[in-house]
C-alpha cells in the first residue's frame, strides 16, 4: 500500500523535476565565492536553547525551600510533647511500656494449642487499651484536665499489666490441669 502511494506520488511529480545541467561556469563561480571567505569557515550553529538553565535553577531553589521547611517546621513527636508537658509522664510511660513489653513476650512464648485463643483475645484487648492510651495522650497535649488524664493514663497501664498477669495465671492453670490429666491417664 505504501509502495502504491510512492509510485503515485512520482507519477504526479513527473516532468516537474529539475533535470537540466547547471549553467556553464557554475563551478568557477562557486569556487570564487568560496575563496572570498578568505579561509574563514562560516558555520551556522543551531540556536542554543538556554531556557533549561533558569528552569533548573528555579527547581533547585524550590527543592531547597521544601527541605528547609520540612526540617524547621517538623512537629515534635508525641513522646517529646508529653515530656515537655510532664517529664514524670514520660518516665512513667517508659517504665510501664518496658514492663508490659516483657510480659507480652513472655505471654507469646506460652502459646500452645490450648492457650492460642486466650493469647489472641488478650492481644486484642491490649491493642484496644493501647488505642485508648493514644487518645489520652492526645487529650493531654490538647490541654485537657491534666490531673484527670494522667490518672487515666496510669490506670490504663495498670489495667494492661493486670490483664497480662491474669492471663499468665490462667495459662499456668491450664498447664497444671493438662499435666494433672496426663498423669491420670493409664495406658
55-97 pLDDT per residue, tens: 788 888 888 878 877 777 666 566 666 666 666 667 777 788 8
Please give the share of the chain, as a percent, with pLDDT higher than 90. 14
With a CB cutoff of 8 Å and minimum separation 6, the contacts of 85 are 140, 141, 146
Please give the share of the chain, as a percent, with pLDDT higher than 70. 78
Lowest mean pLDDT among 17-21, 106-110, 119-123: 17-21
Element (H, E) at 184: helix 146-184
Instruction: Kindly indicate the confidence band of residue 54, based on its pLDDT and cuts at 50, 70 and 90.
Output: confident
Q: How far apart, in whole angstroms, are the C-alpha atoms of residue 81 and residue 158? A: 22
- pTM of the entire predicted model: 0.52
Q: Average pLDDT over the chain, rounded to whole?
A: 79
Query: Per-residue pLDDT for 9 more than 90?
Result: no
**pLDDT of 177:** 81
Q: What is the mean pLDDT of residues 38-56?
A: 66
Q: How far apart, in whole angstroms, are the C-alpha atoms of residue 106 and residue 122? A: 13
Instruction: Kindly indicate the confidence band of residue 115, based on its pLDDT and cuts at 50, 70 and 90.
Output: confident
Query: Per-residue pLDDT for 25 more than 80?
Result: yes
Query: Higher confidence at residue 120 or residue 48?
Result: 120
Which residue in this structure is represented by grid cell 490531673? 147
Amino acid at each position: 500500500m505504501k509502495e502504491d502511494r510512492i509510485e503515485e506520488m512520482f507519477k504526479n511529480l513527473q516532468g516537474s523535476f529539475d533535470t537540466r545541467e547547471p549553467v556553464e561556469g557554475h563551478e568557477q563561480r562557486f569556487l570564487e565565492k568560496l575563496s572570498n571567505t578568505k579561509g574563514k569557515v562560516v558555520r551556522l550553529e543551531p540556536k542554543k536553547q538556554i531556557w533549561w538553565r533558569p528552569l533548573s535553577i528555579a527547581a533547585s531553589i524550590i527543592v531547597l525551600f521544601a527541605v528547609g521547611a520540612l526540617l524547621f517546621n517538623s512537629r515534635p513527636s508525641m513522646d517529646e510533647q508529653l515530656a515537655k508537658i510532664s517529664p514524670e509522664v514520660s518516665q512513667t510511660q517508659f517504665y510501664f511500656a518496658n514492663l508490659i513489653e516483657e510480659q507480652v513476650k513472655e505471654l507469646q512464648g506460652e502459646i500452645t494449642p490450648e492457650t492460642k485463643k486466650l493469647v489472641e483475645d488478650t492481644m486484642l484487648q491490649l491493642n484496644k487499651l493501647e488505642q485508648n492510651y493514644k487518645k489520652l495522650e492526645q487529650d493531654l497535649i490538647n490541654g485537657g484536665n491534666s490531673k484527670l488524664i494522667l490518672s487515666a493514663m496510669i490506670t490504663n497501664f495498670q489495667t494492661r499489666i493486670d490483664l497480662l498477669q491474669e492471663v499468665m495465671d490462667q495459662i499456668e492453670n491450664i498447664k497444671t490441669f493438662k499435666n494433672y490429666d496426663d498423669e491420670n491417664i493409664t495406658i
